[in-house]
Amino acid sequence: MSPSSTDKIIQLPPSKSVSHRAFILASLNTGTSLIESYLQAEDTRITREALTAMGADIKEEGDGLRFGAPIGLRKKDKVFLGNSGSSARFLIPLASYINKPVYFYGESRLHDRPFAELFSALEQTGGKFKAAGNTLPVTVSPAELRGGVLKFDELPSSQIVTAFMLAALWMENDLTLQLPESTPSQPYIRMTYQLLQRLGIEVKYEDNTVYVPSGPPNLDWYFKVEKDFSAASYWVLYGLINGCKIILPGITLPSLQGDEKIFEIAEMVGANIMLFTDRLEMEGRIEKGLSLDCHNIPDLVPALSVLGLFAPEPVKLMNIKHLEYKESNRVEAIQKNIAALGGISSYNNNHLTIQPQKKYQPARISSFNDHRIAMSFGVAGTRIKGITIDNPDCVSKSYPAFWQDLNR
């Protein structure tokens, strides 16, 4: 059946989270890797350029990247990380394996984000570095990371766990990571775990314990990056608030990404989801409110917050304190923009509640240089006249074609 003229067909970008991890694993593999259908955006460019500076041999091949020599021989002594927290956390421990010191720095917001737990773990495993307090800039010097047991009492980000899961491959001994019960965003740890498995690593993950055996992988590896389900949240939002059918080609389930939960959430509030071999289709409107634990799905919170503006009942998004440490303080950014539109929200005990209103007003939305804030409130502009977004180009961080897709 051919789509109607009112159906919205969106070609989602490849996953940012999966692209980051695949690039790094390919740069630790002493064999040859081919990564296809990767995300071409600001954050993944930052990771790719940083790995090149750290000695990786990366060449474009068709719509993919071929990785030859791994990291090790420094090509540049300074690495700019923009505002990419994932690039920073994943790459800093790996700089221990470079033959000369590497200086990491970024934009001012990145220098405001917490790195104390990462630095502490790096020190415990034998890393050598000099930092200005508990954040960037930092200079990492060559060192032999010894492995052993790393116990975390508290974690502001699951990316720290991924960082040491990746770094463990080149450590002197196997690494065991003991995680707190309250580790945020655990599906991202599982994503790293599954990618390590695909590269033939006998990794284990159960009962808040991760075990990674040391030893660089050495095989010819082909990997195709799946679609980005965080990006899918904006089109689920669009369909639910406008009552139109959304068609997403190339979606496969189950996924490496925890944000596949966006489709389950859509069904919870009134959508009908149909999965085919080559696409996913969604239709329906938002018919009820929502009370949802978002501890494991932080990247969906901006879109779900905007969904709350148009719900027939309040929307409560729980356990979201870790959103205060993202590209912006996302809780504060969401609340300020809801208020600018004439909406009402409250934030208590790490829970954000949106009280839907019958009418909203035109406003200039502050993106706070945060791609997910810009895209979520950009979709709100399809229902509220007079919305403008400051710094709309910040979407290049993860979804450069977003505005073109929205305008279509």
CATH number at residue 280: 3.65.10.10
Does 133 map to a domain?
A: yes
CA distance 398 to 373: 12
235 shares its domain with 103? no
Does 363 map to a domain?
A: yes
Name all contacts of 261-268 with Cβ < 8 Å and 24+ positions apart.
261/296, 261/297, 261/300, 262/229, 262/232, 262/233, 262/236, 262/297, 262/300, 262/303, 263/232, 263/236, 265/236, 265/290, 265/292, 265/300, 265/304, 266/236, 266/239, 266/240
271 shares its domain with 309? yes
Among 153, 149, 131, smallest CA distance to 141 is for 131
195 shares its domain with 235? no
- Ranking 66-80, 117-131, 150-164, 367-381 by mean pLDDT, the lowest is 150-164
The pLDDT tens digits for 193-215 are 999 999 999 999 998 999 999 99
CA distance 122 to 267: 43
* Residue 228 half-sphere exposure toward CB, CA atoms < 13 A: 27
Does 87 map to a domain?
A: yes
363 shares its domain with 300? yes
33 shares its domain with 138? yes
Query: How far lies 276's CA from each of 87, 222, 262, 279, in Å?
Result: 34, 25, 17, 5
Q: Is pLDDT at 105 greater than 90 in this prediction?
A: yes
107 shares its domain with 51? yes
Q: What is the mean pLDDT of residues 175-191?
A: 93
111 shares its domain with 244? no
Q: Of 214, 244, 279, which residue sits at a domain end? A: 214
Does 1 map to a domain?
A: no
Q: Of 191, 214, 237, which residue sits at a domain end? A: 214
Looking at residue 114, its pLDDT comes to 85
CA dihedral 372, 373, 379, 383 (to 10 degrees): 160
Looking at residue 323, its pLDDT comes to 87
50 shares its domain with 193? yes
Does 22 map to a domain?
A: yes
Domain with 314 in it: 229-407
Helices (H), 270-380: 301-309, 330-340, 371-380
Q: Of 187, 214, 241, which residue sits at a domain end? A: 214
Among 315, 228, 194, 312, smallest CA distance to 265 is for 315
The chain-wide mean pLDDT, for the chain, equals 95
* Residue 366 DSSP SS3: coil
152 shares its domain with 236? no
Does 100 map to a domain?
A: yes
Side chain identity at 247, as an amino acid letter? I
Predicted TM-score (pTM) of the model is 0.94
The pLDDT tens digits for 235-276 are 999 999 999 999 999 999 999 999 999 999 999 999 999 999
203 shares its domain with 237? no
Does 5 map to a domain?
A: no
Does 9 map to a domain?
A: no
236 shares its domain with 345? yes
Among 175, 156, 208, 154, smallest CA distance to 93 is for 175
Domain count of the fold of the chain: 2
Name all contacts of 202-210 with Cβ < 8 Å and 24+ positions apart.
203/165, 208/178, 208/179, 208/180, 208/181, 208/183, 209/176, 209/177, 209/178, 209/179, 210/161, 210/165, 210/176, 210/177, 210/179
CA distance 78 to 234: 36
Looking at residue 132, its pLDDT comes to 81
- The secondary structure of 244-293 as a DSSP string is --EEEET--SS-S-GGGHHHHHHHHHT-EEEE-SSEEEEE----S-EEEE
Among 172, 177, 148, smallest CA distance to 162 is for 177
Looking at residue 328, its pLDDT comes to 86
CA distance 246 to 237: 10
Q: Is pLDDT at 24 greater than 50 in this prediction?
A: yes
Contact present, 120 and 155 (Cβ < 8 Å):
no
Instruction: Give the pLDDT band (50/70/90) at residue 322.
Output: confident
Contact present, 68 and 30 (Cβ < 8 Å):
no
